[in-house]
Chain A
Amino acid sequence: MTARARPAIADTPIIEVKNLSKTYEGGVEALNDVSLDVPQGKLTTLLGPSGCGKTTLLKIIAGLIPSTKGEVRVSGRMVTGPGPDRAFVFQDFALMPWATVLRNVAFGLELRGVGREEREAVARRHIAEVGLAGFEHRHPHELSGGMRQRVGLARALAVDADVLLMDEPFSSVDEQTRRKFQEDMLSLLSARGKTVLFVTHSIEEAVYLSDRIVLLSRRPSRVAEVIEPDIRRGDDPEAIRRHPAYLDTVETIWQGLKRYLD
């Protein structure tokens, strides 16, 4: 794992969400007046009780679904639909079962009309980067859950977007793979200077990975709290997990979330 410089987060926000509300057609009110900033080049986590609207928020930022009220800006520009500045990593991978790993990873570029040779060269590079070299011509059903999620990550990296929006990227991965994957992802993303906004259910994961944690309340959700874990990364991962600051932050968040469970 590479060390990341950690000044307090005073950096410019790349994503600005202002007074966002979303009511689904059936009348389900998923978000109610959510405002948050995502700092550039950092890892921000959305954490909250199940069904509180995390996926909804992420998809609105991605431009995949419209909001009812409020606005989202990415690099100052208002979001009206999907854009090349954002790439989505799906919870269920969203890989095309009929296509090889290579084609899946190159698919974002294929849709943009990049020529075959060029996009496959780019895809091969990213496949190698997520540790799947040699699997280019396999199909998704031949891969494990963790490997499929890596394909999804490689596909998002291949389009070279500034912002990665990840919906529970580690939820279908077993514990050992998850740690390895998390560490790989951390070093990869920090090396690239990408901004990451990701959803998780795991408090430990959020504290371990993120620079900023946005706690959402129960539906219709608002921002309950914003926490910036003060943990020096770059140490040995196991040491971080035993560090008092880490354990304290986990405890604080757990106390904060507990009141939404009844």
Chain B
Amino acid sequence: MTEVSPSLGSRDPGASVQRLSGPRRDRAVALASHPLTLRLFTALILFSAWEYAGRVPVSAGFPGFIETMKAMAEMTADGLLVAALLITLQPLALGLAISAVIGIGLGIGMGLSRVAEWLMAPPFIVMQAAPMAALIPLLVFAYGIGLAAKVLTVCIMAMPVIVLNSYLAIRQTPASLIEMGRSFQGSKPQIILKIMLPSASPVIFAGLRLGAAAGFIGAILAELLITPTGIGDLITYNQSIAEYPKMYAAIFSVIALSVLFIEGLGKIEAAIFRREGRRA
């Protein structure tokens, strides 16, 4: 009655190549097809192009990659960069934590309840479509130039996409899975916890990653537009004294941090929900 050969595990295209070649070739193939290798390769091309553009030069105010990295090493050595990042991270971490908890909560609530959907879906759809950065002056007017306004800036940037993704994710639970749960007399909480949430989690996490990216933008915008602190301060200050390599080093560091953070979220997700069986 077996319909699938027992060697299910060895279906990847590399498998047949590997059998023909020696162990060293094996490792080379594995290494070349490893996603990390690919990413490093992409980075290499990108940085070379940057270095080339810096040497042409595109503009007097545009340093090459190597020059920027030197400035970054210098700023890291004297502790400036780390101190600035820590300051920037404060409103960012707070804002993202608030957006994640409230955003996922609201989104799930909207997905489960028609009333909550009717009340809250329209404002969040508008928020996601509108350029929320335009509201920053309003936030400053209401909350001053302190931490609160910056945290809120992160929130208004990050929250809408988190809410909408969570909401749609819950809504898109396959109807037949819910029926299946009901047919086995699953209670409402059981169906939510054991069927709807696991089914929604990939899309909720996708929203979280998009929200985190938007939150980083919000944090930097707040520092550029409200009061220059942290990385925003490093950027504006170095621009004003024409220390372009340092300015780009600051920008680069925050982009790198953002990428690392979002990658980290992906890792956390993979650890919580073993993803192997996702696609049916």
B-binding residues in A (CB < 8 A): 59, 62-64, 82-84, 86-88, 90, 92, 94-100, 107-108, 110-112, 131-132, 134, 138-144, 146-147, 159, 177, 180, 184
Which of B1, B4, B194, B277 contacts A111 (CB under 8 A)? Answer: B194
Distance between Cα atoms of A186 and B194 in the complex (Å) = 32
CB atoms of A90 and B276 under 8 A apart? no
Distance between Cα atoms of A94 and B182 in the complex (Å) = 12
CB atoms of A84 and B185 under 8 A apart? yes
14 contacting pairs across A/B (C-beta < 8 A): A59-B179, A64-B183, A90-B176, A97-B277, A98-B277, A98-B278, A111-B181, A111-B184, A112-B184, A131-B1, A132-B1, A138-B8, A146-B3, A184-B1
Within 8 A of A (CB), among B158-197: 174, 176-177, 179-187, 190, 194-195
Residues of A within 8 A of B8 (CB): 138, 142
Residues of A within 8 A of B184 (CB): 82, 87, 107-108, 111-112, 159
Within 8 A of A (CB), among B245-280: 273, 276-280
Residues of A within 8 A of B179 (CB): 59, 64, 88, 90, 94
Across the A-B interface, give the 3 residue pairs with the lowest CB-CB distance, nearest first.
A139-B277, A131-B1, A97-B280
Within 8 A of A (CB), among B187-221: 187, 190, 194-195, 198-199
Which of A59, A111, A140, A184 contacts B280 (CB under 8 A)? Answer: A140
Known: A140-B280, A147-B4. 20 other contacts (CB 8 A): A64-B179, A64-B183, A82-B183, A90-B179, A94-B176, A94-B177, A94-B179, A96-B177, A97-B277, A97-B278, A98-B198, A98-B277, A98-B278, A99-B198, A100-B277, A107-B180, A108-B184, A111-B194, A141-B278, A147-B3
- Shortest distance from the beta carbon of A146 to any chain B beta carbon, whole Å: 6
Distance between Cα atoms of A110 and B198 in the complex (Å) = 15
Distance between Cα atoms of A141 and B8 in the complex (Å) = 12
Decide: A83 near B185, CB < 8 A? Known: A64-B179, A90-B179, A147-B3.
yes
- Shortest distance from the beta carbon of A133 to any chain B beta carbon, whole Å: 9
Give the number of A-B contacts (CB < 8 Å). 85
Which of A100, A131, A141, A177 contacts B279 (CB under 8 A)? Answer: A141
CB atoms of B185 and A177 under 8 A apart? no
CB atoms of B3 and A90 under 8 A apart? no
Distance between Cα atoms of A95 and B179 in the complex (Å) = 11
Decide: A96 near B195, CB < 8 A? Known: A142-B8, A143-B4.
yes
**Residues of B in contact, count (CB < 8 Å):** 29
Decide: A144 near B181, CB < 8 A? Known: A95-B280, A111-B190.
no
Distance between Cα atoms of A139 and B9 in the complex (Å) = 12
Residues of B within 8 A of A112 (CB): 184-185
Distance between Cα atoms of A62 and B185 in the complex (Å) = 11
Residues of A within 8 A of B199 (CB): 96, 98
Per DSSP, are chain A's interface residues mostly helix, strand or loop, or mixed?
loop
- Shortest distance from the beta carbon of A66 to any chain B beta carbon, whole Å: 12
- Which chain A residue shows the least CB distance to B190? A111
CB atoms of B279 and A97 under 8 A apart? yes
CB atoms of A88 and B180 under 8 A apart? yes
A-binding residues in B (CB < 8 A): 1-4, 6, 8, 174, 176-177, 179-187, 190, 194-195, 198-199, 273, 276-280
Decide: A141 near B183, CB < 8 A? Known: A98-B198, A98-B273, A131-B1.
no
CB atoms of A141 and B280 under 8 A apart? yes
Distance between Cα atoms of A88 and B176 in the complex (Å) = 11
Residues of B within 8 A of A134 (CB): 2, 6
Residues of A within 8 A of B1 (CB): 131-132, 180, 184
- Shortest distance from the beta carbon of A166 to any chain B beta carbon, whole Å: 12
CB atoms of A82 and B3 under 8 A apart? no
- Shortest distance from the beta carbon of B169 to any chain A beta carbon, whole Å: 13
CB atoms of B279 and A64 under 8 A apart? no
- Shortest distance from the beta carbon of B272 to any chain A beta carbon, whole Å: 11
Interface centre among A63, A82, A134, A147 (most CB of B within 10 A): A82
Residues of A within 8 A of B279 (CB): 97, 141
CB atoms of A144 and B280 under 8 A apart? no
Distance between Cα atoms of A88 and B184 in the complex (Å) = 8
CB atoms of B194 and A87 under 8 A apart? no
- Shortest distance from the beta carbon of A154 to any chain B beta carbon, whole Å: 13
Residues of B within 8 A of A110 (CB): 194
- Shortest distance from the beta carbon of B115 to any chain A beta carbon, whole Å: 19
- Shortest distance from the beta carbon of B59 to any chain A beta carbon, whole Å: 51
- Which chain A residue shows the least CB distance to B273? A98
- Which chain B residue shows the least CB distance to A144? B3
- Which chain A residue shows the least CB distance to B183? A88
Distance between Cα atoms of A98 and B198 in the complex (Å) = 7
- Which chain B residue shows the least CB distance to A90? B176
Residues of B within 8 A of A95 (CB): 280
Distance between Cα atoms of A86 and B185 in the complex (Å) = 10
- Which chain A residue shows the least CB distance to B11? A142
